[in-house]
Amino acid sequence: MTAGAAGPRVAPYDVARVRGEFPILAQRVHGQPLVYLDNAATTQKPRAVLDALRTYYETANANVHRGVHTLSERATAGFEGARQTVARFLHAAEPREIIFTRNATEGVNLVAQTFGRQRVGAGDEVLVTAMEHHSNIVPWQMLCESAGARLRVVPIDDEGALRMDELRRLIGPRTKIVAVSQLSNALGTINPVAEIIAIAHEAGAAVLVDGAQAAYHMPVDVQALDCDFYVCTGHKLYGPTGIGVLYGKAAHLEAMPPYQGGGDMIASVTFEKTTYNVIPAKFEAGTPNIAGAIGLAAGLDYMTAIGMDRIQAHEQELLEYGTAALAAVPGLRLIGTAPRKASILSFVIDGIHPHDIGTIVDREGVAIRTGHHCAQPVMERFGVPATARASLALYNTREDIDRLVASLHTVHEVFG
């Protein structure tokens, strides 16, 4: 299996120094140095993010936009500066195309309940893939049920790669929206989203890309992709929980109705009529997660300073090393072996439940995720109830992989 597409060689960074910038990685779990391999669920936070949060609360804590006093102006500058940082990170055309949400899930729901309700009617179709996270399935099911539309699913092959022949067959004149993950959280598959977007647009369909997994592993350019919407989440981008991002083309956002009503999304209110604010404020009702946005910006700046190409190359080398190392574990089978993949090592071991695997390796100080990973259709496709999943980040090392493999041998010893 080729773990991923090889790109031009880039200079490595000092991983030991980077690890020293993540305070949580210095702790011991059950007496063992922590090996954190649950990054697909959430990443750990560098000191730069922790300092940004502390500085905000100590020096600038106030509500944004409506205040004329100094603290409010500082908070507003930090919050809107964070929007500019996100726009640069995703290569959006302008900051007003960036909407702050609670997470990627809320971004998908926002699009489904606004743009989707405008675009999808009885007899229409929404297309998703068989590898989607539940967050990129359920909102579209809800939309289809209310609109009388049909949800169609692009299958995946035995390696976990998308069946592009089936995608081309399924997209047609009734297809109004295509929702696809850029990188599968359960399989690690990297989907050819630029090609998918071009095919969908030729058929007149709009495309939402779920970048919750991809955005912290590889460079993202929403203009080059030409996607209509892109969602990602702060807690995977080395930032805080409770903050997410929805990118949308300005023309779409301007035409979409508000998602929620309340403060800051209005221009004027009377009992007879409310007029709505311009984007992005139209979609940010109420007091936003100001600290979260500022912390997210610090996380993006941290990754940018290292270099997304260097992060991608480091993680790709680890994936290849980990793929080979896990192959030597008796009875282990990888779930997800697509030719283009990144960051995810999902596996099962014959005769041992993934939850038991996770419990035993935790006693060795190794943190992995076990379960269906909010991707139950993927589990069904591969005929397993759950998998164990080790997922990589910029601070992981070969030694982390070696510790995982050693802990899996302990699993075998326990189960004989």
Q: How far is CA 136 from CA 4, 17, 189, 195, in A?
A: 24, 36, 16, 19
pLDDT at 204 over 50: yes
Containing structural domain, residue 69? 50-304
Residue type, 52: A
Residue 8 lies in a domain: no
pLDDT at 416: 67
Same domain, yes or no: 226 and 319: no
Residues 94 and 33 in one domain: no
Is 9 a residue whose pLDDT tops 90? no
- Total number of domains in the chain: 2
| pLDDT tens per residue across span 297-338 | 999 999 999 999 999 999 999 999 999 999 999 999 999 999
pTM: 0.96
We report the CATH number of the domain holding residue 260 as 3.40.640.10
pLDDT, position 263:
87
At residue 5, the pLDDT reads 46
If 0-12 CB within 10 Å is exposed, 13-18 middle and 19+ buried, where does residue 402 land?
middle
Span 221-231, average pLDDT = 98
Burial class (CB within 10 angstroms; exposed 0-12, middle 13-18, buried 19+) of 305: exposed
Helix (H) or strand (E) holding 52: helix 47-59
CA 383 to chain centre: 25
Catalytic choice (144, 227, 232, 374): 374
Boundary (domain end) residue, out of 257, 276, 304: 304
Of all residues in the chain, what percent carry a pLDDT higher than 70? Answer: 98
pLDDT, one tens digit per residue, over 261-283 is 998 899 999 999 999 999 999 99
Asked whether 350 and 383 are in contact (CB, 8 A), the reply is no
- What are the pLDDT digits (tens) for 37-78? 999 999 999 999 999 999 999 999 999 998 899 999 999 999
* 7: in domain: no
**pLDDT at site 2:** 43
The single-letter DSSP state of residue 190 is B
To the query of whether residue 144 is one of the catalytic residues in this protein, the response is no
Instruction: Specify if 372 maps to a domain.
Output: yes
Length of the chain: 416
Tell whether 172 and 29 lie within a shared domain. no
pLDDT attached to residue 6 = 46
144 and 27 within one domain: no
Inside any domain, residue 5: no
CA distances from 37 to 257, 346, 368 (A): 40, 11, 5
Question: What ranges in 126-202 are assigned the alpha helix state H?
Answer: 138-147, 164-170, 193-202
Question: pLDDT per residue over 79-128, tens digit each?
Answer: 999 999 999 999 999 999 999 999 999 999 999 999 999 999 999 999 99
Query: What integer pLDDT is reported at residue 281 of this predicted model?
Result: 96
Q: Which residues of 103-137 are buried (b: 16+ CB within 10 A; e: fewer)?
A: bbbbbbbbbbbbbbeebbeeebbbbbbbbbbebbb
Does 230 map to a domain? yes
